[in-house]
Amino acid sequence: MYYKSTRNNALRYTASQAVLKGLSDDGGLFVPEKLPVSDKSLQELATMDYKAVAYEVMKLYLSDYTEEELKYCIEQAYDDKFDIPEKVALKKAGGAYYLELFHGPTIAFKDMALSILPYLMTTAAKKNQLKEEIVILTATSGDTGKAALAGFADVPGTRIMVFYPKDGVSKIQEKQMVTQKGGNVKVVGIRGNFDDAQNGVKAMFNDAGLKDELKSRGYVFSSANSINIGRLVPQIVYYVYSYTRLLKDGIIADGESINFCVPTGNFGNILAAYFAKQLGVPVGKLICASNKNKVLTDFFKSGTYDKLHVMDDAGNFSEKREFMLTSSPSMDILISSNLERLIYLICGEDDHKCADFMKQLSKEGSYEIDDLMRSRLKDFDAGFADEAACAEMIKKVFDEDGYVIDPHTAVAAAVYEEYRSKSSDSLNCVIASTASPYKFPEAVLKALGEESSDEELTDKLNEISKVPFPKAISELRDAQVLHDTVCDKDEMKEQVRSFLN
Ligand SMILES: *Cc1c(COP(=O)(O)O)cnc(C)c1O
């Protein structure tokens, strides 16, 4: 199986090359030449554990990795870093099944992919005779940085450096990062905002002089961001796995369709669900849930992606779209990068057409797809939930089922409830539960009508929810600060040099 770019069909890459490159040189994203179909039946997969299902799914996409290589990566990733042996859990509440994807080291779903990406990368480096050590550079607004640090810490053949806005992340997020252990990690605060950190990292990726200098010293830059196929492919696994658990438990019959509802930001997680459908999982609807930053809802309803204007009830895009901060920060996004892969697929894999849409988006701020493309979006439904609807949902699920969900998951739950009330669709639905409530205790407690001091937030949540403390939270209490470097935004390059000396 080969990968090509969404903006240029002429070049072909193996999976391991695509993992190493991350993004194509033309700015496009890598997509498989042909979406694979499972060679195992769902019944067979239902007899397997998470790691075995992971192998059966990932071997189809990462076909130049040998069985031994892939199984090694899976073993290293899905070990007791996860706090339950099943790696993910399915909990029934309020007429839906919550797929808990937050049992990894940083209690959010990004661990599902970032725990395996370092091994996929170092294996790819060996396969492609890369001599240099891989240096991951990341700018973070909070969550991805910690998940990447946890994934790459002490992985041989890699180093990781994370830049964050010194006054732009939450106290818990900062503490999580600056206490990160590992001989190959470095965390630096920037005097500036997230854009400053991100621009600094981008500038280094494009700095040919710096790259040459580091290459001569045995280093090469790489990125761990969510457009890498090494992050997308591991996410397909849990959709397949969740279907087979419902099958195994007799909740659905073989071949019976289910819906997936996914709290969406960059469109990576829900795209993985779409790929699971192509693989053979019977899926009715893929429900794309957004918060107030509802650019995707507007897109699915109108066929127009407009990052500058918001759609009104009459379907017009005239009012200016404002970027809004919400209690589900990982979904506060106006450009969903991974949507480009879906655009490419529904425009008949026409690289020129896809490149053109992306050019329109960056030049004019919007693009509109045609009717044929829209007709290929029938698998999707979309909706959004504002802050009040999100908080109400947290309270409702807790009051009715004693189950506590985080604000991201609550956005999906609210959108699903609305979908169910307006449609006659009675299929079972799996809601992707993307973060532990312990990651956002303040917003959760507020929604539940509880008050607490900053210091006692997690204790209070523990008392109310009866959910045991995840290790990620209890460890943080007496964790030592190991990183205290703070620099100006124009000193980032020097920081990289000194880290690699
Ligand atoms: C990243 C993230 C999301 C959004 O996932 P995408 O793949 O970017 O759509 C949702 N919830 C949480 C908790 C996240 O960290």
Atom of ligand 1 nearest to the CA of 144: 15
- Yes or no: say if 259 and 286 are a contact pair by the CB < 8 Å rule: yes
Q: Residue 198 pLDDT > 90, yes or no?
A: no
Give dist(CA 281, CA 295) in Å, integer.
28
Q: Residue 140 pLDDT > 90, yes or no?
A: no
Which strands form 89-93's sheet, in the order they lie side by side? 89-93, 96-100, 428-433, 258-263, 283-290, 380-384
| pLDDT confidence of residue 112 | 97
- Buried-exposed string 112-132: b where 16+ CB fall within 10 A, e elsewhere: bbbbbbbbbbbbbbebeebeb
Q: How far is the CA of 325 from the centre of ligand 1 (A)?
A: 15
Which strands form 485-488's sheet, in the order they lie side by side? 219-222, 133-139, 158-165, 185-191, 485-488
Task: Provide mean pLDDT across the span 408-422.
Answer: 97
| pLDDT confidence of residue 476 | 87
Q: How far is the CA of 128 from the centre of ligand 1 (A)?
A: 31
Q: Residue 274 pLDDT > 90, yes or no?
A: yes
Task: Provide mean pLDDT across the span 412-426.
Answer: 96
Task: Provide mean pLDDT across the span 329-338.
Answer: 90
| pLDDT confidence of residue 333 | 87
Which tens digit of pLDDT belongs to each residue from 27-40?
899 999 999 999 99
Task: Provide mean pLDDT across the span 403-430.
Answer: 97
From 70-74, 175-179, 341-345, the region with the lowest mean pLDDT: 175-179
Which tens digit of pLDDT belongs to each residue from 299-322?
999 999 999 999 999 999 999 999
Q: Residue 420 pLDDT > 90, yes or no?
A: yes
| Residue 112 in tokens | 């599902």
Is 384 strand, coil or helix? strand
| pLDDT confidence of residue 80 | 95
- Residue percentage of the chain with pLDDT more than 70: 100
Query: Among 266, 326, 341, 409, which residue has the most ligand 1 atoms within 8 Å of its CB, making it the best to mutate?
Result: 266
- Yes or no: say if 274 and 379 are a contact pair by the CB < 8 Å rule: yes
Query: Among 99, 170, 296, 330, which residue has the most ligand 1 atoms within 8 Å of its CB, making it the best to mutate?
Result: 330
| pLDDT confidence of residue 290 | 98
Task: Provide mean pLDDT across the span 221-240.
Answer: 94
Q: Residue 143 pLDDT > 90, yes or no?
A: no
Atom of ligand 1 nearest to the CA of 266: 8
Task: Provide mean pLDDT across the span 3-24.
Answer: 94
- Yes or no: say if 382 and 288 are a contact pair by the CB < 8 Å rule: yes
Q: How far is the CA of 129 from the centre of ligand 1 (A)?
A: 34
267 lines ligand 1 (CB under 6 A): yes
pLDDT band at 254 (very low <50, low <70, confident <90, very high): very high
Q: Residue 142 pLDDT > 80, yes or no?
A: no
Q: How far is the CA of 58 from the centre of ligand 1 (A)?
A: 21
Atom of ligand 1 nearest to the CA of 263: 10
Q: What is the pTM of this model?
A: 0.95
- Residue percentage of the chain with pLDDT more than 90: 86
Q: Residue 259 pLDDT > 80, yes or no?
A: yes
Q: How far is the CA of 435 from the centre of ligand 1 (A)?
A: 9
268 lines ligand 1 (CB under 6 A): yes
420 lines ligand 1 (CB under 6 A): no
321 lines ligand 1 (CB under 6 A): no
Mean pLDDT score across all residues of the chain:
95
- Yes or no: say if 300 and 287 are a contact pair by the CB < 8 Å rule: no
Which tens digit of pLDDT belongs to each residue from 429-477?
999 999 999 999 999 999 999 988 888 899 999 999 998 899 888 888 8
Between 43 and 203, whose confidence is greater? 43
Q: How far is the CA of 104 from the centre of ligand 1 (A)?
A: 15
Is 115 strand, coil or helix? coil
Task: Provide mean pLDDT across the span 118-145.
Answer: 92
Query: Among 102, 103, 109, 433, which residue has the most ligand 1 atoms within 8 Å of its CB, making it the best to mutate?
Result: 109
Task: Provide mean pLDDT across the span 378-385.
Answer: 97
| pLDDT confidence of residue 339 | 97
| pLDDT confidence of residue 223 | 85
Is 7 strand, coil or helix? coil
Which tens digit of pLDDT belongs to each residue from 42-78?
999 999 999 999 999 999 999 999 999 999 999 999 9
Angle between helices 50-61 and 229-248 (to 10 degrees): 130
108 lines ligand 1 (CB under 6 A): yes
| pLDDT confidence of residue 83 | 94
| pLDDT confidence of residue 11 | 87
Nearest CA to ligand 1 atom 8: 266
